[in-house]
Amino acid sequence: MSLYLFSRVMLRIKKYDYFSIGQELYGSAGKWICFAGLSLNLACVCIIFCGSMTKYFKSSFVFLTGERIDVDNITGKVIFATVIGLITTGLSCVKNVQIIAKLAIIGFGGIFYVLAVLMGNNFYKPEISAENTVTPNIGKALFSFASAIVFAFANHFTYIESIRDMENPTPKRQLHVLTAAGAVETLVYGLFAYAGSAVFKNSFLDPENKEGDVLVVAANFYNIALGDEKIQPGQNVFKILYNIGTIMFFFACFFTFPLLIGPLRETIVLAIPKKHPKEEPSKLFFYSMTAALCVSFTILPEFIGLENLKVVIGYASSLIGAPLFFLLPAAFFWKSELSLKAKTPLDMALFLVVLITGIAVLLGFFLDLFKII
C-alpha cells in the first residue's frame, strides 16, 4: 500500500525520486528530510558491507597465503583499513557499473555454492584447523540492511526503467506497472531479510549461533536427515571448499560496495548548494569525497568492532526505516492527492493504514529499545 501511494504521487507530479518529490511538495524542508533519511540509511548499509568485506578478506588471505593478518595495534589497523579503503575507492570511481554489478552477482552466487558445500558440516570439524577456515556467516545483520536498500535507491531505478520501457501507457497502466514492479522488488528483498533475521529456537540451531544463521540451520537440517549414517571423506577437501566460499563472499561484498557508495555520493552531491541547478562537482571533489567515504567506512568496523556496529546500526536503520518506508509516502500522498477535491474514501483508507502502520512501527521500535535499556 505504501508503494501504491508513492506510485500515485510520482505519476501526478512527474517526479521519480524522493528528492524531487520532497522538493516539489514541501520545498527545501522536504528535500532535506529525504536527504537525511536516505543518506543515513545508505551509510549504515555501506559500513556493514565494509566490515563484512574486510572480515572475508582476512579469511581469504589466510587461505591463499597461509599467513594470518594480525592488526591489533592502532597503526596497523589504520594502515590496513586505509589500503582496503583506497582499493575500493578506485573501484567506486569506475563509470561502467554494469560490469561491477555482474561481478557482484557472481560473488553472491557463493550463497548457493556454500549451501551445497555445507553438507560437509556433517563431516568436517572446524576446530581442527580453525585458524585456516572461516565459514561465511550470513546472519540477520546483512539481510536486514538489504531490504532497506530498496527504498534507498533500487526502486528509483526500477521506476525509471519501467516508465522508459512502456509505450504510450495509460495513467492506469502506469500506476499498476509501477506498483507491481516496486512490490516484486520489495518482496524479493523482504524474503532475504526474513531468512536472515529468523531465529530458530529448536534442536536444528547450533547453540553457538545466536543469529539464526540460515547456513547453519541448513547444515543442521542436513545432519538430521542423515540420521546416524556418517560418511567421513577427507577433511582437507571441505576446508578448501569452505574457503573458496569465503573468497566468493569477499568478492561479493567488494563489488557490491561501489553500487552502494555511488547512490550515497549522488545523494550528498544533490544536497550541496549550487550556483546553477545543472552544475557538476569538480573531479577533485568527486574523487576526494569517494576516498573519504570508502576509507572512513572501512576504518569504523576495525576500531569499533563489526558486531558492536551491527547492534547500533541495526537500531539506527530501524529508526530511519519506519519514516522512510511509511511516513514519507503518506506525507507525499497527503500533500499531492488528499488535498484535492477528488479524493475518495478508498484513498483516505489507504492513507490511514500506511500512516498508522508507520506510527506503530516507530512505537514498537521505542518499546523494544526501552526493554533493552
pLDDT interval class at 304 (50, 70, 90): confident
pLDDT confidence of residue 297: 82
Question: Is the pLDDT score of 148 beyond 60?
Answer: no
- pLDDT tens for each residue of 156-178: 555 555 555 555 666 677 667 76
Mean predicted confidence (pLDDT) in 77-98: 77
pLDDT in tens, 248-262: 777 777 777 777 777
Residues near 32 by beta carbon (within 8 Å), at least 6 away in sequence: 271
| Closest among 41, 93, 55, 37 to 292, alpha carbons compared | 93
Q: Tell me, what's the pLDDT at 31? A: 75
Domain boundaries, the chain: 2-372
Closest CA relative to residue 327, chosen from 360, 285, 282, 359:
359
Residue 122 has pLDDT above 50, yes or no: no
Greatest alpha-carbon span in the chain: 74
Domain 2-372 adopts which CATH fold? Hydantoin permease (1.10.4160)
pLDDT digits (tens, 9 = 90+) for 12-22: 777 666 777 77
pLDDT tens digit string along 271-289?
Answer: 676 666 566 777 788 888 8
